[in-house]
Structure formats: structure tokens, C-alpha cells
Amino acid sequence: MGDVKNDVDVLVYGSAIVDFICYVDRLPKEGETIRGHKFENGFGGKGANQCVAAARLGSKCALIAKVGNDTWGEKYLENLQKEGVNTRHAKACEGKSTGIAQIAVSNDGENNIIIVTGANDCLDGSDVHEAGYLFDSAQVLLCQLETSVAGTLEALKRFKGISVLNAAPAMTNTPKELLQSASILCVNETEAALMTQTEDIKTLEQAKLATKKLMEMGANTVIITLGSQGAVYSEKGNSEKCYHVPGQKVDKVVDTTGAGDAFLGALAYHMAKYPEKSLHQHIGYANLQASYSVQYPGTQSSFPKAQSCPSTSQ
């Protein structure tokens, strides 16, 4: 990997979770043991996913995260290193297991999921402090809410470049300070609805109203992703104007898991690489790369690589 100590474009502070996916004919009842017909193991967690998405497109990325001092932690770090991610600050936490998600998926697409966050709970402000030199040198910071809010807040406050808070999983009472501390808040329509206590966000008009509400709640610039419809955004200082960046049409949607993470990784890559371009252009690029990911199965496995990613004239 060479010495990449200070050489980082995109810094990600967040979660790393191993997915154990069992495919079953139907979900088990209480106390019941059933046979599954397929097993898959995947690497997930919003933090690590977004970091891998940006690294695949060509960003120099570092992940600040915690895994367990166990086999899965080792495997996770190997996976990140294979993706070219700087893991100097993705550390093993003594006495905690690597975060896992045990997922059962039935033939009719129903699922149940158990998440044990494990080592992710150890990530805190001391990790921000230790990696201070990365906060000084990176251009874009990505954070989510799968690890402690206090640590995330510290990371956002420490960073002076462009910070993006993907407030997922969403909270009903998101602290104002958290929203104020990020340059950009990016959420999907479900998260935006929960945060603004709006019943449903289905139409562009409803999404535009939600961006306004999120700004009133303290957010600076806001992006709301809308699945196949792309995204809407409002920029700081101009909350009256909300723009729509349409999604890319795809021939066949195979699996939309992780589309939001592909979007955020691509957004960060593009903002770091082309700081002179507009937010509209950054979002257009993120839509394009996320639309690639929905055409392939899995999460990290579906993210485009620099040599295969769709290109734009932007």
C-alpha cells in the first residue's frame, strides 16, 4: 500500500458490519429450526460501503472504524485493503466482536435481520483525535449514524473541508448541532420523512418541501435521494430554490441494496476530484454511478470500478 499516511482525498468515519445472509423458503417461527438453501457472506456497514464506493472510482480513501479482535475483523480489514482503502485507523477493539448482521431472506422476499453492532460501539471521539492529521489533509469527509452520535459530531466539528452527513439510520429528533455541523446533509426519502415527521415523501413537490424543512431544522445544504427519480437539493443560503437532478434510466433493476452508499461514495469522489464543479454536476455523477450499482447484485460487489464505471461529459 506504500506510505499513504497523509495522502487522503476522502475520509470516512463510520461503521463496518459483516453480513451473513441465509436464503430460506419461508422465515422460521419462534423456536423453530429450518433449513436454508443458500448462504452468502458480504461486507457492509454504511461507513465501509461508502468508503469502498469512493475508492473504487479512484479516490484515495481512509476509513476510521472499529472491528472486533476476531477472524471477521481480520477478514474485513483484508477486504478494505484489497479495495485500496487506508486502514491505518480502522482498528481492532479488544473484547468486542466485529459488527454483524444476520439476515434471513425468504422466497417471497420477506426478511428478518438481527444486528449486533459490537466493535462499532467503541468508535468515539478519541479515534477522531488520533486521526487528526487525516482531518487536516482530506478534502471530503463522509459520516453516517450507525456509530455513536457523539463521535460523529466530533468528527464533523473537527473537519474544515466539505463534510457530508448521511443521517442514516434516521432519528426522529436529530440534534440541531449535528445538522448544523455538516456542510451537506444527504438522506433518502424515507429518512427525510422520518426526520421531518412527514407522512410520506413520494412526489418531487413533497421532497422539495422536506428539503426546506430540513434547512429550517438547522441543515446547511440538503440532498434528498429519490430512488429511480434521482435526487433533489437545496443549497445553503438559497433555501427557496430546490432543484431536481433526474435519475438515470436503467434497462433492468437487479438489486437496489446499497444504492444510497454508491451515491454517497461517488458524490464524495467527484467533489474531491472536481472542486470547481457545481453541486448539480456532483449529484448528476452520483446518480450515474448509483444507477450502475442497481444493475448488479450485492452491496459492495455492485459498486462500479474506475475502469468500468459509466462516464459523463461533466
Number of residues this chain uses to bind ligand ADP (CB under 6 A): 19
Q: Which lies closer to ligand ADP via its Cβ, residue 44 or residue 260?
A: 260
For residue 113, state whether it binds ligand ADP (rule: CB under 6 A): no
Q: Which lies closer to ligand ADP via its Cβ, residue 150 or residue 250?
A: 250
Q: In angstroms, rounded to a whole number, what is the distance separating the alpha carbons of residues 75 and 103?
A: 19
Cβ 74 to ligand ADP, closest distance in Å?
A: 29
**Catalytic-residue membership of 7:** no
By CB under 6 A, the residues from 279 to 308 that bind ligand ADP are: 287, 290-291, 294
By CB under 6 A, the residues from 220 to 239 that bind ligand ADP are: 225-228, 230-231
Binder among 184, 219, 259, 309 for ligand ADP (CB under 6 A): 259
Binder among 15, 79, 188, 221 for ligand ADP (CB under 6 A): 188
Contact track, ligand ADP, 68-87, x by CB under 6 A: --------------------
For residue 248, state whether it binds ligand ADP (rule: CB under 6 A): yes
Q: In angstroms, rounded to a whole number, what is the distance separating the alpha carbons of residues 4 and 131?
A: 13
Q: Which lies closer to ligand ADP via its Cβ, residue 68 or residue 230?
A: 230
For residue 256, state whether it binds ligand ADP (rule: CB under 6 A): yes
Q: Which lies closer to ligand ADP via its Cβ, residue 116 or residue 170?
A: 170
Q: Which lies closer to ligand ADP via its Cβ, residue 220 or residue 257?
A: 257
Residues forming the active site: 261
Using CB under 6 A as the criterion, which residues of the chain lie in contact with ligand ADP when the complex forms? Answer: 188, 225-228, 230-231, 247-248, 250, 253, 256, 259-260, 263, 287, 290-291, 294
